[in-house]
Amino acid sequence: MNPDDHGRLEALVAENERLKQQAANLADANVYAAELLAALEEAHDRERELVQRGEELELQTRLDLVLQEERSEARLLERVAEELMKTDSLRLDAIETLSIDSADSGRGDVSVQIMAPATVDAGTFHVPVWNEGGRQIVLQMRIDEVPDRWCERWLRLLWSVGRQAGGALHRLNVANENERMTEELIVARDEALESSRIKSAFLANMSHELRTPMNAILGYSEMLIEDIDCMPAEEVVHDLQKIQSAGKHLLNLINDVLDLSRIEAGKMTTYVEPLQIETFVSSVVDTVQPAVNKNQNTLQVTYTEDIGVIVTDQVKVQQSLLNLLSNAAKFTKEGTISLRVQSCTSGSGNRVQFIVADTGIGMTESEVAQLFQDFVQADSSTTRKYGGTGLGLSISRRFCQMLGGDIYVESKPGIGSRFTIDLPRVCQSISATEDGIGEQTEELLVDTSKVLEVSRLFKKDGVPSILAIDDNQDSLDIIKRTLEKDGFDVLTAASGRLGLEIAREVRPDIITLDVKMPDLNGWQVLATLKADDQLNSIPVILLSVVENRDIGMALGAVDCLSKPIDWVRLSSVLDRHAGVQTQNKILIVEDDPASSEIVVRLLARAGWDIETASNGQEAMERIRDGRPALIVLDLMMPVMDGFAFTDQLRSQKEYVDIPIVVLTSKSLTPEDHRRLNGQVEAIMNKGDGTRQLLLDSVKTLLRGSSE
């Protein structure tokens, strides 16, 4: 190496060193710059965080206000959305929906789903929040760019907002619900007060109306007792007739009041049957003719052509029609009364109208307005001038309403009145106890889901249920009516297919099955039922026009009855298969031999074994000899009365569940009711119509107890 080279080398080394030094310096500067940058960024982040925290706090304050202030649900959500939009660093360009869904699962837990920023679509995302009320609050937002690392923080905040909004909505709902309930309670209280006022007014009127004829009865009879020696025979007869007439009036009053109370209590039952309208009307006209003649009136009856048949409750329509006709006769002198029977079709189907028009005294508008109120006749003196109890019209109207119809009235003073009884041609047998849940035959045929719904509504606890399958609607109606009277719960199906469906859904205790049906006949239905593991244990009774007992039994029916149906036989077959014992012993406790005899005969004829006792003590002895299935009990008896007997019987553990039906002529005081409450199963008053009622409730109670 020459010296020059050496010198250059040295210079190069030195240069290299210098460069190295420079590189090191640069690296240091880089690190420093990076550090600086990092510090700067950190400062920036801190600043953003501070801003965000500030915004959060601010947002929180504004939201708190909204959540406390806002009373309307929709507006609350709207304002929450507005507040969110105002927040700059949320960078929401729009909140498209901020809604509540009525989610049905009210689990009450809060499930929150926050999506990690990386997986968030640059678009929409949801924050679903369950609130305590079980309703879902969904915050659905659209964000204009992929969220940065602050996003998670904001999402947490949004979740918390959703939760708070949910809580606020829940509180709002509770408050609204409270308010609504308070309002309802106020309405209910007012209604109760009004009904109590009406009841008191009714009672006062009742007392007045009963005392008036009573005054005549007692007065005349006292007079007769005092003066019988010095009275001419003719006068005696006159006075006796007055006593009789006042007595009759009193009886009518009592009967009307009983009718009313039965309607009020929902105990009035209807019995629907087909009636030849012309035959029916002419018998009513015969009855009312003497009253028509009395005031020299003439009665004209007209029909539209082929008026035909109405399916309704004969007794109730007869009573209503008689009431209208005798009113017309009463308030008309030397005039014309017309009865027009016409058929018409309205939105609610085929209807029959009985229109009674007179040329009598008529009524003013305000008189018409209070016409149907209990005890209010058009003029308070009308009762005295024209007789009647003042309850007839109101009862008639309620009867017609029970049968799916109504009574309408038009009247002009001095010109006359026109009353219209408007009834469906075929009454759907809405009995008072079913209160408005009348079955709609046509709908039954069409809409299965509805049938099932109706069926369930009708299914009663502790009562054997029967499914009747028949393609003929009339047959179904009759079966339903008859068997319901016997205390069964009856479901109907108008085709084999429908029958199978209902059988699967409801699992009735027994099925009655028509054989001849289109589509799926009885044999096919029976075979299907018997092939189904779930259904093959249900007893099936074949009802058929064709006597084909052997095939039926071979296919698995428990019995076959030929049409027309022998109801007594069907009832006993059903009782046998529903596990109902007919040979139950009933104990009748009654001190009056005549009353006792009536009940004994009634119940013995219905197939029960009867034992009697003439007072409570004797009854206790009979019960010790052998436990009866049911007790029919009089209250007022010597030695031990019905109250004491009930107390004693119920105090013994083994007898607490024997059903007691109280049958009394005592009018019960609230104290009496209190004593009997919960101790006895039914209370009935002796008198008109009790026989059927007694028979029905004994049947029902014995069915219930034997299950």
Whole-number Å distance between alpha carbons of 654 and 658: 9
Q: Would you say 11 or 203 has its CB closer to other proteins? A: 203
Residues ≥6 apart with Cβ < 8 Å to 114: 127, 152, 155, 156, 159
Q: Would you say 226 or 688 has its CB closer to other proteins? A: 226
Q: Which one-letter DSSP state was computed for residue 667?
A: P
Look at residues 418, 281, 291, 421 and name the one whose alpha carbon lies nearest to residue 360.
Answer: 418
Smallest distance from other proteins to CB 233, Å: 16
Q: Would you say 230 or 594 has its CB closer to other proteins? A: 230
**Left, alpha or beta for 460 (phi > 0: left; psi -120 to 50: alpha)?**
beta
Q: Which two tokens stand for residue 348?
A: 């609610």
Q: Would you say 172 or 214 has its CB closer to other proteins? A: 214
Smallest distance from other proteins to CB 261, Å: 19
Burial class (CB in 10 A: 0-12, 13-18, 19+), 558: middle
DSSP string computed for 518-568: SSS-HHHHHHHHHH-TTTTTS-EEEEESS--HHHHHHHT-SEEEESSP-HH
DSSP string computed for 349-410: EEEEEEEEEE-S----HHHHHTTTSTT--SSTTHHHHH-S-S-HHHHHHHHHHHTT-EEEEE
Look at residues 542, 495, 501, 547 and name the one whose alpha carbon lies nearest to residue 523.
Answer: 542
Q: Would you say 8 or 384 has its CB closer to other proteins? A: 384
Stretch in the footprint of other proteins (CB under 8 A) among 211-219, 549-557, 589-597, 686-694 = 211-219
Distance of CA 20 to the CA centre of its chain: 99
Helix (H) or strand (E) holding 587: strand 585-589
644 interacts with other proteins by CB under 8 A: no
Whole-number Å distance between alpha carbons of 28 and 651: 104
636 interacts with other proteins by CB under 8 A: no
Among 46, 75, 199, 211, binds other proteins (CB under 8 A): 211
Smallest distance from other proteins to CB 238, Å: 9
Smallest distance from other proteins to CB 633, Å: 32
**Left, alpha or beta for 534 (phi > 0: left; psi -120 to 50: alpha)?**
alpha
Stretch in the footprint of other proteins (CB under 8 A) among 213-221, 489-497, 607-615, 636-644 = 213-221
DSSP string computed for 246-304: HHHHHHHHHHHHHHHHHHHTT------EEEEHHHHHHHHHHHHHHHHHHTT-EEEEEE-
Stretch in the footprint of other proteins (CB under 8 A) among 62-70, 377-385, 435-443, 570-578 = 377-385
Q: Give, as ranges, the residues between 536 and 575 that touch other proteins (CB under 8 A).
A: none
Whether residue 142 contacts residue 124, with contact meaning beta carbons closer than 8 Å, is answered with yes
Among 75, 199, 208, 412, binds other proteins (CB under 8 A): 208
SS3 call for 205: helix
Q: Would you say 223 or 520 has its CB closer to other proteins? A: 223
Stretch in the footprint of other proteins (CB under 8 A) among 2-10, 374-382, 571-579, 603-611 = 374-382
Smallest distance from other proteins to CB 218, Å: 4
Q: Would you say 210 or 558 has its CB closer to other proteins? A: 210
**N-terminal to C-terminal alpha carbon distance within the chain:** 128
Smallest distance from other proteins to CB 246, Å: 6
34 interacts with other proteins by CB under 8 A: no
Whether residue 262 contacts residue 268, with contact meaning beta carbons closer than 8 Å, is answered with yes
Phi/psi of residue 482, each to 5°? -65, -45
The contact pattern for other proteins, residues 378-417, with x = CB under 8 A and - = no contact, is -xxx--xx--------------------------------
428 interacts with other proteins by CB under 8 A: no
Size of the site for other proteins (CB under 8 A): 28
Among 94, 187, 218, 237, binds other proteins (CB under 8 A): 218
Whole-number Å distance between alpha carbons of 207 and 260: 15
**Left, alpha or beta for 617 (phi > 0: left; psi -120 to 50: alpha)?**
alpha
Stretch in the footprint of other proteins (CB under 8 A) among 210-218, 434-442, 580-588, 688-696 = 210-218
Q: Would you say 190 or 227 has its CB closer to other proteins? A: 227
Whole-number Å distance between alpha carbons of 473 and 476: 5
214 interacts with other proteins by CB under 8 A: yes
Whole-number Å distance between alpha carbons of 19 and 570: 120
Smallest distance from other proteins to CB 444, Å: 50
Among 22, 68, 182, 215, binds other proteins (CB under 8 A): 215
Q: Which two tokens stand for residue 213?
A: 């004829």
Q: Would you say 229 or 550 has its CB closer to other proteins? A: 229
Q: What is the dihedral of CA 490, 491, 497, 503, to 10 degrees?
A: -90
Smallest distance from other proteins to CB 205, Å: 10
Among 85, 115, 172, 223, binds other proteins (CB under 8 A): 223
322 interacts with other proteins by CB under 8 A: no
Stretch in the footprint of other proteins (CB under 8 A) among 203-211, 396-404, 519-527, 685-693 = 203-211
345 interacts with other proteins by CB under 8 A: no
Smallest distance from other proteins to CB 435, Å: 32
71 interacts with other proteins by CB under 8 A: no
24 interacts with other proteins by CB under 8 A: no
Among 117, 128, 134, 219, binds other proteins (CB under 8 A): 219
Among 125, 130, 154, 220, binds other proteins (CB under 8 A): 220
Smallest distance from other proteins to CB 208, Å: 4
Q: Give, as ranges, the residues between 239 and 258 that touch other proteins (CB under 8 A).
A: 239, 242, 245-246
Stretch in the footprint of other proteins (CB under 8 A) among 219-227, 293-301, 531-539, 679-687 = 219-227
Whole-number Å distance between alpha carbons of 235 and 164: 92
Q: Would you say 6 or 199 has its CB closer to other proteins? A: 199
Stretch in the footprint of other proteins (CB under 8 A) among 208-216, 490-498, 544-552, 553-561 = 208-216
228 interacts with other proteins by CB under 8 A: no
Look at residues 557, 561, 549, 548 and name the one whose alpha carbon lies nearest to residue 525.
Answer: 557
Among 209, 470, 559, 681, binds other proteins (CB under 8 A): 209
Smallest distance from other proteins to CB 380, Å: 6
Whole-number Å distance between alpha carbons of 472 and 522: 13
Smallest distance from other proteins to CB 370, Å: 16
Residues ≥6 apart with Cβ < 8 Å to 243: 216, 217, 220, 221
Smallest distance from other proteins to CB 349, Å: 45
Phi/psi of residue 461, each to 5°? -70, 140
Q: What is the dihedral of CA 105, 111, 112, 116, to 10 degrees?
A: -110
Whole-number Å distance between alpha carbons of 77 and 83: 10
315 interacts with other proteins by CB under 8 A: no
Smallest distance from other proteins to CB 210, Å: 8
Among 173, 212, 373, 441, binds other proteins (CB under 8 A): 212
Residues ≥6 apart with Cβ < 8 Å to 639: 615, 616, 617, 618
Q: Would you say 211 or 459 has its CB closer to other proteins? A: 211
* Positions in the binding site for other proteins (CB under 8 A): 203-204, 207-209, 211-220, 222-223, 226-227, 239, 242, 245-246, 379-381, 384-385
